[in-house]
Structure 1
Amino acid sequence: MRTALGVLGAVLLGGLVWEGYKAVGDPDGTLLFGVRVLPRADDAAMPHLTEILGRFGDPERVGGDPIWLVVTNAGLVTLRSVAVGFLAGALVGLLLAVLMQRLRWVRRGLLPYVVLSQTVPLIALAPVIAGWGGRLSIGSYPWQPWMSVATIAAYLAFFPIAVGLLRGLTSPAPIAEELMRSYAAGWWRTLVKLRLPAATPYLYPALRLAGAAAVVGAVVGEISTGTRGGIGRLVIEYSREATTDPAKVYTALLGAVLLGLLVAGVVGLAEILLTPGRRASMR
């Protein structure tokens, strides 16, 4: 309940800041030493929130579906790539974390490259992945464009899980490890009985970050590769009408934001259902 109220309060605060700045801000933006430090507050750059929300009920084009339906369908297309990328990234991150915890030389050699992998710009990486994917096939099933988007989402999702889970796996106190050794517990039993439970407080925040990263990766991947049907492509298409219909652009952006909140909410719900302590605190 407190979480829901917090989210609602944050949304209301954001709306008040938006409308407040629009009311008092400079239509041409605030300049400091000739550099615009605050955005323009005119209707072309910052439509009223009522105009943006009302645009969802209007048809996308004359005689077409309403924008809310178009955005919802595009979100479902992107959600498929996000789900596949999130699951693949979670699996890769889990395996890397366990491997780096098990073998110290692997951690020393691999961890710097895991961190370095996140410095590669997605806008440059996405076309490369799409180009490689176009030459692949899964058995007799050809590689689909959404698979490239899912790969990009997995690329961003694995990192927080690998790093967060590794920190959790190495968090047990030495005395706890000594106790497991005194019981003649092997590495696998120590992992299941001690390290994984100790890593739980680190895992769920990492999963939430991975979910948000997967949404970002999927949207950027759709934009960079030109994959049709998803939110990313919708942002590009609506941006072409930014000068004549600025509120329409924000409908696609809000769709991407809601998709990210949905993924974070699903991970949070899974945490509540799978953690007895969290379930008890919700009662």
Structure 2
Amino acid sequence: MAAVSPTLEARTVPRWVRSTLWFLLIVAVLVLVWEAYKFIWTQLEWTWPVRPINRSMPHTWDIVSAMFRPARRGGEDILLVILAEAALFTLREAVLGFVIGGVFGFLLAVVFVRSPLAERSLMPYVVASQTVPIIAVAPMVVLWAGRNDWPQWVAVAFIASYLTFFPVTINTLRGLQSPDPTATELMRSYAARPGQVLRKLQVPAALPYIFTALKISATASVIGSIIGELPAGFPDGLGRVLLNFASTFSTSPEKLFATVFMSAVAGIVFVAAVSLAERVVVRSRPEVFAGDMLTPDEGRAG
């Protein structure tokens, strides 16, 4: 019987299974490194760069066990429930900011590809907008929203979109400019309107670039939402939970570490959702992601 090639065997394992196994492996390695650091540094009595004491570096099992205990003395809700509710609250704001920033970034890229003058004139300001510390912008946005009687979640979503639009703009612009110029000229020679060139050639060619940007923007929107919640004074959300547990870090550090872990999980879930959407699009347009789009000569030959 012929031996089955390793490549064929790998294809029989679903991609999500392999991704999950890799994720669990990375988590296990991080846990081992964390615990090994604590053990070795304690035995050798080293204190640099971080002292391996439980008040600053709790054991991983202490962090996990804290998630299944009440968050407060006399309380009923365990920490895991509180963190899950806060993560869902933050994700709602992140999704809204993600949509707003993604749409704005895409439209801005379309304007730039249609008008090189607009790109040369506005691109420096687009780049400069990302050099402003978001922690300085967030209080101003929240204050402006309050003066106009806007809901606070609108301000938080705007802050999230502020971090989202830039990678979408840059990557989409690069993708829209990626088609072979001869393919563009061929469509124009057939009297294709600019909208048809955009829809039938440029956007399909830009899809891989767009999804790469959306994955980056997914994590950025979560970060923006958390930062926006800090000055907004929300009673809910990961930003508020981070503030509360940061004030008790010296006595209960495991709670803050658990909150940081849940924030990371929220970002991972968001990126996974974008990756799932990408897989759906890949199945509908595999030739785009495989790099097998027809060149003008191939199209004529067909």
TM-score for the superposition, normalised by structure 2: 0.85
After superposition, what is the alpha-carbon deviation per residue over 1:261-283, rounded to whole angstroms, capped at 9, x for unaligned? 111011011111121139x99xx
State how far apart, in whole Å, the 2-side matches of 1:133 and 1:144 are.
7
Match of 1:29 among 36, 47, 53: 47
Answer with 1 or 2: which has the greater Rg: 2
Match of 2:161 among 154, 164, 183: 154
How far did 1:177 drift? 1.1
| Paired letter, 2:55 | A
3-state SS, counterpart of residue 185 of structure 1: coil
| Paired letter, 1:59 | P
Q: Which residue of 2 aligns with 1:115?
A: 127
| Paired letter, 2:258 | T
Q: 1:49 to 1:84 in 2, by over 3 A?
A: same
Once the two structures are overlaid, the 10-residue window that deviates more, 17-26 or 88-97, is 17-26
How far did 1:153 drift? 0.3
Q: Which residue of 1 aligns with 2:79?
A: 67
Q: Which residue of 1 aligns with 2:92?
A: 80
Q: Which residue of 1 aligns with 2:24?
A: 8
After superposition, what is the alpha-carbon deviation per residue over 1:176-214, rounded to whole angstroms, capped at 9, x for unaligned? 112112221111100011100110110111000000100
State how far apart, in whole Å, the 1-side matches of 2:193 and 2:30 are.
52
State how far apart, in whole Å, the 1-side matches of 2:122 and 2:199 are.
23
State how far apart, in whole Å, the 2-side matches of 1:190 and 1:184 are.
10
After superposition, what is the alpha-carbon deviation per residue over 1:98-141, rounded to whole angstroms, capped at 9, x for unaligned? 011111110001111111111111111001000110122xxxxx
State how far apart, in whole Å, the 1-side matches of 2:196 and 2:118 are.
21
Q: Which residue of 2 aligns with 1:98?
A: 110
How far did 1:54 drift? 0.7
How far did 1:29 drift? 3.1
3-state SS, counterpart of residue 25 of structure 1: helix
Match of 1:250 among 247, 257, 271: 257
Structural RMSD (CA): 1.7
How far did 1:157 drift? 0.6
Query: What stretches of structure 1 move > 4 A for 4+ residues in a row?
Result: none
3-state SS, counterpart of residue 147 of structure 2: coil
Match of 1:57 among 68, 71, 74: 68
Matched, 1:48 2:59: yes
After superposition, what is the alpha-carbon deviation per residue over 1:154-176, rounded to whole angstroms, capped at 9, x for unaligned? 00011110111000000111111
State how far apart, in whole Å, the 1-side matches of 2:220 and 2:75 are.
36
After superposition, what is the alpha-carbon deviation per residue over 1:40-69, rounded to whole angstroms, capped at 9, x for unaligned? 221111111111011111001123310011
State how far apart, in whole Å, the 2-side matches of 1:112 and 1:5 are.
43
Match of 1:239 among 243, 246, 256: 246
8 A Cα contact 2:97 2:221, kept in partner: yes
- What is the percentage of aligned positions where both structures have the same residue? 39
State how far apart, in whole Å, the 1-side matches of 2:87 and 2:242 are.
11
3-state SS, counterpart of residue 242 of structure 1: coil
| Paired letter, 1:49 | T
How far did 1:28 drift? 6.2
Q: 1:28 to 1:73 in 2, by over 3 A?
A: farther
State how far apart, in whole Å, the 2-side matches of 1:41 and 1:203 are.
43
After superposition, what is the alpha-carbon deviation per residue over 1:57-110, rounded to whole angstroms, capped at 9, x for unaligned? 100112331001100111111111101100000111011010111111100011
Matched, 1:129 2:136: no
State how far apart, in whole Å, the 1-side matches of 2:145 and 2:104 are.
19
Q: Which residue of 2 aligns with 1:35?
A: none
